[in-house]
Amino acid sequence: MKNKHADGFIPANENKFVIWFFKWYTFFLLKSRFKNVFFRTNYSPKTKDSTLILANHHSWWDGLIPLIINEFEFKQNARAVMEDIQIKKYPFFSRIGAFSINRQNMKSALYSLDYGAEWLKHPKNSLFLYPEGKITSAISPIQVENGFLKVVQQVPDAHIVILTIFISTAHHNKPDLYLDIHGPVQLKDVHDKADSVLFINQLMNERRSTIANESLNIAEIYGYRKLI
């Protein structure tokens, strides 16, 4: 990978104090804005693992949720891909591990994906990526783009997991936040773009539908625990 960044690219520039501060700032912010933050996972990374987390993207909170999951659960070295417009608007995100992607510039977008792949080549690193490419409606079908495959093809040994983020107002005047980790999942042929995108697309829609239905009942019945 070339040392020179693509034009306009904003790299991750982590600062331990900023990460520590926003870990607790986000914790108390979530605690004040949500009635409960429920968490469920069937995946626990080992020391040698690197992890690609593919998440749905429906709200501003998605930029902070990776920090909470990683700092309290996965405890890997986490980075996240963020739209360049958002990271320019909220530059502190680069200090907690986010780097930019400009989907309107193919060369720049490919550089960002290569940058993320290089990060995943090292054990105990993780990358949060939103394959929809932008914030979408929580009620619209999830439409996955194929950019994530460029990362997968370069780091075939990385574990792929699905993060489903769902906000529910079914039980309280304050919403509940559901965070579900599912995986690792296996792609049959990462070089078959259409098949791989279809598989991830269907899986992400199925997971969101399942969690939406579960949110109508008592969370603990389905194996959730309170994260916050």
Q: What is the pLDDT of residue 59?
A: 87
Task: Specify whether the CB–CB gap between 138 and 204 falls below 8 A.
Answer: no
Q: Which residue has the higher pLDDT, 30 or 191?
A: 30
Strand 176-185 versus strand 36-41 pairing type: parallel
Amino acid at position 153, single letter: Q
Task: Provide the Cα torsion 76, 124, 204, 200; round to 10°.
Answer: 160
Q: What is the pLDDT of residue 191?
A: 76
Query: Domain locations in the chain?
Result: 16-188+196-226
Determine what percent of the chain is predicted with pLDDT higher than 70.
Answer: 97
CB atoms within 10 A of CB 129: 27
Q: What is the pLDDT of residue 125?
A: 97
Residue 187: DSSP 8-state = -
Task: Specify whether the CB–CB gap between 112 and 98 falls below 8 A.
Answer: no
Task: Specify whether the CB–CB gap between 163 and 181 falls below 8 A.
Answer: yes
pLDDT digits (tens, 9 = 90+) for 67-114: 999 999 999 999 999 989 889 999 999 999 999 999 888 898 999 999
pLDDT digits (tens, 9 = 90+) for 177-225: 999 999 999 997 777 889 999 999 999 999 999 999 999 999 999 999 9
Q: What is the pLDDT of residue 217?
A: 95
Mean pLDDT across the chain, nearest whole number?
93
Q: Longest C-alpha distance within the chain, in Å?
A: 51
Residue 204: DSSP 8-state = H
Q: Which residue has the higher pLDDT, 63 or 211?
A: 211
Q: Which residue has the higher pLDDT, 136 or 223?
A: 223
Rounded to 5 degrees, what are φ and ψ at 215? Answer: -65, -15
Rounded to 5 degrees, what are φ and ψ at 180? Answer: -125, 125
Q: What is the pLDDT of residue 133?
A: 84
- For 159, residues 6+ apart whose C-beta sits below 8 A from its C-beta are 43, 45, 49, 50, 51, 52, 183, 184
Q: What is the pLDDT of residue 4?
A: 55
Statement: residue 7 has pLDDT above 90: no
Q: Provide mean pLDDT across the span 142-149.
A: 94
State whether residue 27 is helix, strand or coil. helix
Statement: residue 2 has pLDDT above 90: no
State whether residue 223 is helix, strand or coil. coil
Reported confidence tier of residue 3, pLDDT bands at 50, 70, 90: very low
Task: Specify whether the CB–CB gap between 40 and 224 falls below 8 A.
Answer: yes
* 14, 24, 69 from 160: Cα distances, Å: 23, 27, 16
Residue 62: DSSP 8-state = G
N residues, the chain: 228
* pTM of the full structure: 0.93
Cis bond leading into 184, ω under 30°? yes
CB burial string 43-56: b at 16+ within 10 A, e below: bebeeebbbbbbbb
